[in-house]
């Protein structure tokens, strides 16, 4: 099932002018799947490692879920977590699934197991490997809570073949002044750079030390320079980030993430591309199609456009692109589905 050519224009018109113009049927462009929420890193920017999570999606349901995502016409599949590579059946699920229809299969990883599983990754249908790296060696290892993290992640990246690699950088005050140097490391490795934005309203950040990570004014300036001069992001994104990190009043754009991305948690819960809001279904009880075509999903996606939510920074670049449609390439599908939507 292909996404109708009118889908994104209707999301734009419905979010900017009248809810009556929103698509009547939800057709996400990307699916984010958490086969596990467990993680072996000990990041100060995240709470996942502080709990032992039970994986509710077994191997068979994982295979069926990947097939359902593809059959629904979703072209971009991202495995995130937790740490997806600690699922012992991760590559089995990939091998048994019908993956040829996906334009991108992305693994969001801390990189600690990249070297160990590089052969399996290289032989798999994975197209993109996004590695969470926030700064240079000592700073990154402090943020991520594992001595040797930086070096091990880079060793793993060097072992990859024919995969598009990106550093996923959470913009923060501790590493803000190292971002230019980190960009040079990424360039030497042939890796892209993408960023995430700190958020106070995500369940996996409830006990994280956000105050420690929050940048002061000088570090906000360093972040702005990085985003403007190195990442070459549009002016409206830079303006948003500056005001956001300075805690200045912001006019939040209508959130369109419910129409662009679907999240599936390791317990089977389905989210409308939004972590703070409650699940709208569960793939252990229903098929993904049944959830996506449910009234609950449609109702919550429309409520997100109206900003009836606690607020977060997930997918903020997509919502900003919609708001600034005439100065952005928001109709380019790749742009709207390239980021992780994960805050750390």
Task: Please check the confidence at residue 199 and state whether its pLDDT lies above 60.
Answer: yes
pLDDT at 50: 74
Mean pLDDT of 319-339: 63
Mean pLDDT of 203-220: 79
Can you say whether the dihedral through the CA atoms of 200, 109, 262, 340 is positive or negative? positive
The angle subtended at Cα 61 by Cα 74 and Cα 259, nearest 5°, is 30
Torsion, Cα 251 8 289 32, to 10 degrees, reads -60
Task: Please check the confidence at residue 159 and state whether its pLDDT lies above 90.
Answer: yes
- From the list 211, 326, 339, 341, the residue with the least C-alpha distance to 264 is 341
For the chain, give me the number of helices (H) and strands (E)?
A: 15, 9
Strands (DSSP E) found in 217-286? 261-264, 269-271, 281-282
String of DSSP letters for 171-235 = E-TTTGGGHHHHHHHHHHHT-EEEEEE--SS-GGGTTS-HHHHS--HHHHHHHHHIIIIIS---H
At 210, is the pLDDT very low, low, confident or very high (cuts 50, 70, 90)? confident
Instruction: Tell me the pLDDT tens digit for each residue of 89-100.
Output: 999 999 999 999
Task: Please check the confidence at residue 337 and state whether its pLDDT lies above 70.
Answer: no
Average pLDDT, the chain: 91
Above pLDDT 70, what percent of the chain? 92
Mean pLDDT of 192-215: 78
**Is residue 279 within 8 Å of residue 271, measured between CB atoms?**
yes
The residue that leads in pLDDT, 65 or 52, is 65
At 124, is the pLDDT very low, low, confident or very high (cuts 50, 70, 90)? very high
Mean pLDDT of 11-36: 96
Task: Please check the confidence at residue 280 and state whether its pLDDT lies above 50.
Answer: yes
pLDDT at 43: 87
Task: Please check the confidence at residue 87 and state whether its pLDDT lies above 60.
Answer: yes
Mean pLDDT of 117-137: 98
pLDDT at 58: 98
List the single range of 160-169, 209-218, 258-267 with lowest mean pLDDT. Answer: 209-218
- From the list 260, 273, 263, 275, the residue with the least C-alpha distance to 321 is 260
Task: Please check the confidence at residue 79 and state whether its pLDDT lies above 50.
Answer: yes
Burial class (CB in 10 A: 0-12, 13-18, 19+), 293: middle
Cis, peptide link before residue 209, omega less than 30° from 0: no
- From the list 322, 343, 42, the residue with the least C-alpha distance to 335 is 322
| Residue 108 main-chain phi, psi, to 5 deg | -95, 115
Task: Please check the confidence at residue 338 and state whether its pLDDT lies above 60.
Answer: no
pLDDT at 201: 67
List the single range of 114-118, 144-148, 321-325 with lowest mean pLDDT. Answer: 321-325
- Give the DSSP H or E segment for 288: helix 288-292
- From the list 177, 175, 77, the residue with the least C-alpha distance to 132 is 175
The residue that leads in pLDDT, 330 or 110, is 110
At 40, is the pLDDT very low, low, confident or very high (cuts 50, 70, 90)? very high
User: Strand, helix or coil at 270?
Assistant: strand
Q: How far apart are CA 298 and CA 20, in angstroms?
A: 13
Mean pLDDT of 324-341: 52
| Residue 101 main-chain phi, psi, to 5 deg | -80, -10
Q: How far apart are CA 241 and CA 259, in angstroms?
A: 23
At 205, is the pLDDT very low, low, confident or very high (cuts 50, 70, 90)? low
Mean pLDDT of 219-235: 97
pLDDT at 20: 95
The angle subtended at Cα 187 by Cα 185 and Cα 192, nearest 5°, is 105
Q: Residue 118: CA atoms inside 13 Å, Cβ hemisphere, count?
A: 17
pLDDT at 200: 72
Q: Give 100's DSSP letter.
A: T
Token look-up 């919550």 returns 300
pLDDT at 45: 75
């Amino acid at each position: 099932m292909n996404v109708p050519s009118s889908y994104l224009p209707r999301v734009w018109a419905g979010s900017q002018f009248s809810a009556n113009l929103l698509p009547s049927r939800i057709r996400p462009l990307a699916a984010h799947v958490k086969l596990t929420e467990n993680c072996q890193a000990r990041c100060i920017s995240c709470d996942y490692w502080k709990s032992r999570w039970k994986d509710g999606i077994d191997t068979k349901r994982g295979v069926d879920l990947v097939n359902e995502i593809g059959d629904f016409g979703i072209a971009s599949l991202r495995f995130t977590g937790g740490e997806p590579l600690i699922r012992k059946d991760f590559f089995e699920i990939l091998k048994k699934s019908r993956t040829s229809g996906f334009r991108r299969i992305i693994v969001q990883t801390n990189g600690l197991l990249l070297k160990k599983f590089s052969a399996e990754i290289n032989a798999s249908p994975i197209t993109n490997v996004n590695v969470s790296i926030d700064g240079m060696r000592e700073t990154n290892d402090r943020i991520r809570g594992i001595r040797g993290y930086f070096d091990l992640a880079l060793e793993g990246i060097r072992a990859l073949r024919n995969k598009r690699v990106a550093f996923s950088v959470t913009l923060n005050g501790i590493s803000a002044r190292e971002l230019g140097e980190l960009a040079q490391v990424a360039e030497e490795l042939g890796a892209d750079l993408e960023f995430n934005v700190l958020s106070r309203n995500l369940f996996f950040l409830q006990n994280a030390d956000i105050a420690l990570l929050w940048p002061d004014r000088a570090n906000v300036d360093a972040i702005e320079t990085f985003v403007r001069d190195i990442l070459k992001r549009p002016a409206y994104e830079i303006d948003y980030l500056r005001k956001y990190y300075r805690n200045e009043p912001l006019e939040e754009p209508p959130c369109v993430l419910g129409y662009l991305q679907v999240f599936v948690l390791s317990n089977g819960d389905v989210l409308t591309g939004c972590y703070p809001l409650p699940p709208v279904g569960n793939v252990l009880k229903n098929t993904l199609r049944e959830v996506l075509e449910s009234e609950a999903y449609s109702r919550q996606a429309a409520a997100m456009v109206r900003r009836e939510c606690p607020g977060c920074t997930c997918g903020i670049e997509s919502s900003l692109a919609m708001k600034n449609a005439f100065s952005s390439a928001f109709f380019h599908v790749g742009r709207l589905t390239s980021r992780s939507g994960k805050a750390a």
